[in-house]
Amino acid sequence: MKITIKNIQESSSPLQLFHAGCKSEETFKHYTTYLRKFVFEFLEKVSPISSNEKYSQGTHLIGKKLGLPTVLYKKFVINDYEKERKKILVLRLIKLIKSSDGQVFNAFIDELSEMFPHEIGYRWRQYQRFHTLINLHCFCYSLQRPKLLMDKMKIPMITLDDLKWANTIMQDLETLPPNKMKWFKDVFLEAWKTKGTDTTTDKKIQETLDIPVEKFTIRINDIVDYVKSKGGKTNTRQVRQVYLEPLFENGFVEKFPDPDNKNRDVYHPTSAEMDVIKSPLDSMIPFNHSGVKSCLAKYLKGNFKIEHQNRLFSIDDEEIINVLLSV
């Protein structure tokens, strides 16, 4: 389906439009997987609850939406043409993801994997989110990116600009709202200090905390008991879903199967204090020509070509390497 302003109806969502252009239900389900992966995950990471600034802007937007007549809302916030244009941009993103089967080539992966922090298990999850953001930015600017010609596809190539953008986003995000951070400090850490045990010896945690943090763990039931002992109300489901799962995803706690019951987990903080380092990388400076050139030679052995600005290049062409390192 050719995408133009005329194709777009006011009531049509991007997914509805994309669905109409797919030849089969299977094709639609296959390619919308990439939309969810690269767009919905991104929107979740930069949602209004992620930072005070975005929350404030969202509040102002709600006020205008509910407090202005339609004519004024379209004049001061967004008009029909802008809505249609944004739908086209989303559809263009879907088309780009579809054209490369959702694949990218990252010539920085070897150096990046060495540079990225890996002191705790949380970093694995953070590294996956980091790559999701890198890939999303690359697809958004796919028309400006070199393309690796492979298996009759044109696969976008990650540039240093994509990495810098993803790193900035992850550094700036406040990944947990204040109420969950308060719960971590006032409830989880205190319950862990009070009721945490060495699961191998059932030894109570030492008050001095001069032992490895991961040696002592706490069960959800013990957290519930601690809250109730302080006059509060909660239950295991609330503790797990509302607090522990977000804390685990954002690296404040770790979990593993309970030695006494494999159907449940035990938890421990990644630190006895609130000093979890959130920023992935402090700098992108270490990336250089030799590292990128080495990665290209390592993974692209053979007669692969790279297309950029309607020209073909070999994998060791200095001009292409300079493009990948440009910001």
Say what the pLDDT of residue 49 is. Answer: 44
212 to 123, 194, 266, 270: CA distances (angstroms): 19, 16, 16, 10
CB 268 within 8 A of CB 214: yes
Distance of alpha carbon 96 from the chain centroid:
20
Show the tokens assigned to 130. Answer: 């980091």
- Domains of the chain are 1-99 (no CATH), 102-175+282-327 (no CATH), 178-269 (1.10.10)
Please check the confidence at residue 119 and state whether its pLDDT lies above 70: no
Strand order in the sheet with 197-198: 203-204, 197-198, 216-219, 261-269, 253-258
Say what the pLDDT of residue 143 is. Answer: 85
CB 317 within 8 A of CB 154: no
**pLDDT tens digits, residue range 3-19?**
343 444 444 444 554 45
Say what the pLDDT of residue 280 is. Answer: 63
Is-above-0.85 flag for pTM?
Answer: no
Reported as a pLDDT band with limits 50, 70 and 90, residue 187 is very high
Reported as a pLDDT band with limits 50, 70 and 90, residue 20 is low
- Mean residue pLDDT across the chain: 77
Look at the block and give the residue holding tokens 């763990």.
217
**pLDDT tens digits, residue range 120-173?**
667 787 888 889 889 988 988 888 999 999 988 999 999 999 998 888 877 655
**pLDDT tens digits, residue range 239-288?**
999 999 888 877 788 888 888 888 889 998 886 555 554 556 765 556 77
Say what the pLDDT of residue 101 is. Answer: 84
